[in-house]
């Protein structure tokens, strides 16, 4: 059963903004609900008010801007986005949409919901009874991290499938509040804290995601136990200009390995300077582990995370070179 709460279905964005500005109770925004409802059943959070965005028409629009960018409303269903005509220009982006769970989930799940997905930890994303037996942690009210005993911040993992590919595409998110509209590059949206894991304030709602026009190559790969339903062991989004092994700009972003999507800046710099040939790729892959930082043993062993990160970088670069599908 869900914890006791009130429910309000908004139909206008201004109503949502006004309620967030004035509401004294704890509020949880609800779009598709595929993650929120599940976590409420597990008593991971118990908001006093669920504020539904599903019927806010302004948040369900996909439009082309004068400069060729596309603006996607955050209440757009992932099913609709992966088949929208405008998305055909960004096949890597569509791959990110299609990677989320199953068709049944994508029929309900939304873009904003996936980007704001709550972080996941093996020690907290369990039943309430299991957590009581283990004992509380940073995320559930006590100053202790079960994953890294010495950590003073929560290291729960960011599990968004769409965030890495939108980050390499230089996407910008719009955050709307009573104070106005705040635009934040998605690469700056996430934090290292698994609890306060985004920069969105309590009185803000993410309204649109804007993706500028690009002509670069993009690859997206998701590694998971079973295709279709599971959260990822790891994901990668890769972008490069040029053709074949020639390039001057590379972006590599890993997902589902840390509290926020991880941009491999030094690894990408090697490829940007030396191209996508085998020698440069070997050198770049050798640098990946140092850029990963501390790896927690959540869901998969830390050593496996290191191996899968290197494997994904290798596979993504080969795809950028035109060598098979990811």
User: What's the rounded Cα separation, in Å, for the pair 32 and 38?
Assistant: 11
Of 111, 101, 51, 117, which is closest to residue 76 (Cα–Cα)?
A: 111
**207 and 222 both lie in a single domain:** no
The phi, psi pair for 259, rounded to 5°, reads -70, -15
**281 and 238 both lie in a single domain:** yes
**163 and 193 both lie in a single domain:** yes
Of 81, 77, 80, 78, which is closest to residue 100 (Cα–Cα)?
A: 78
> How confident is the model at residue 300, as a pLDDT?
82
- CATH code, 170: 3.30.465.10
Region of 283 on the Ramachandran plot (φ > 0 left; ψ -120 to 50 alpha; else beta): alpha
Rg of the chain over Cα atoms, rounded to whole angstroms, equals: 20
**255 and 187 both lie in a single domain:** no
**268 and 175 both lie in a single domain:** no
| Residue 140 belongs to a domain | no
How many domains are contained in the chain? 2
Percentage of residues in the chain with pLDDT exceeding 70? 98
- Evaluate if residue 222 carries a pLDDT over 90: yes
**282 and 203 both lie in a single domain:** no
**204 and 226 both lie in a single domain:** no
- Over residues 237-292, the pLDDT tens digits come to 999 999 999 999 999 999 999 999 999 999 999 999 999 999 999 999 999 999 99
Mean pLDDT of 210-227: 90
**182 and 223 both lie in a single domain:** no
Of the ranges 123-137, 161-175, 240-254, 309-323, which one carries the lowest mean pLDDT score? 123-137
| Residue 325 belongs to a domain | no
> How confident is the model at residue 326, as a pLDDT?
55
- CATH code, 254: 3.30.390.50
**199 and 111 both lie in a single domain:** yes
| Residue 47 belongs to a domain | no
Mean pLDDT of 162-166: 97
**287 and 263 both lie in a single domain:** yes
Domain range holding 289?
A: 217-320
Lookup result for tokens 């004035």: 22
**197 and 262 both lie in a single domain:** no
Q: Are strands 6-9 and 49-52 parallel, antiparallel or unpaired?
A: parallel
């Amino acid at each position: 059963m869900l914890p006791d709460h009130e429910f309000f279905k908004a139909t206008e964005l201004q109503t949502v903004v006004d309620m967030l500005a004035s509401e004294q109770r704890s509020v949880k925004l609800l779009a598709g609900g595929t993650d929120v409802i599940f976590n409420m059943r597990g008593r991971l959070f118990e908001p006093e008010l669920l504020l539904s965005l599903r019927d806010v028409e302004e948040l369900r629009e996909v439009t082309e801007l004068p400069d060729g960018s596309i603006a996607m409303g955050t209440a757009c269903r992932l099913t609709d986005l992966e088949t929208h005509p405008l998305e055909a220009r960004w096949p890597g982006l569509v791959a990110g949409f299609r990677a989320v769970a199953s068709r049944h989930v994508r029929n309900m799940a939304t873009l904003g919901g996936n980007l704001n997905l709550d972080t996941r930890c093996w020690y907290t994303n369990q039943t309430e009874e299991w957590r009581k037996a283990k004992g509380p942690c940073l995320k559930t009210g006590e100053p202790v991290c079960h994953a890294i005993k010495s950590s003073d911040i929560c290291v729960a993992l960011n599990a968004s499938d769409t965030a890495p590919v939108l980050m390499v595409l230089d996407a910008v998110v719009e955050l709307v509040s009573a104070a106005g509209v705040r635009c934040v590059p998605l690469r700056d949206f996430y934090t290292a804290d698994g609890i306060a894991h985004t920069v969105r304030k309590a009185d803000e709602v993410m309204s649109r995601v804007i993706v500028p026009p690009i002509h670069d190559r993009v690859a997206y790969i998701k590694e998971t136990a079973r295709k279709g339903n599971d959260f990822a062991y790891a994901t990668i989004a890769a972008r490069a200009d040029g053709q074949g092994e020639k390039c001057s700009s590379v972006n590599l972003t890993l997902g589902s390995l840390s509290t926020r999507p991880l941009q491999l800046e030094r690894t990408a710099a090697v490829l940007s300077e030396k191209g996508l040939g085998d020698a440069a790729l070997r050198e770049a892959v050798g640098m990946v582990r140092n850029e990963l930082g501390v790896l927690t043993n959540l869901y998969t062993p830390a050593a496996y995370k290191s191996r899968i990160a290197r494997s994904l970088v290798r596979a993504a670069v080969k795809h950028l070179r035109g060598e098979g599908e990811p």
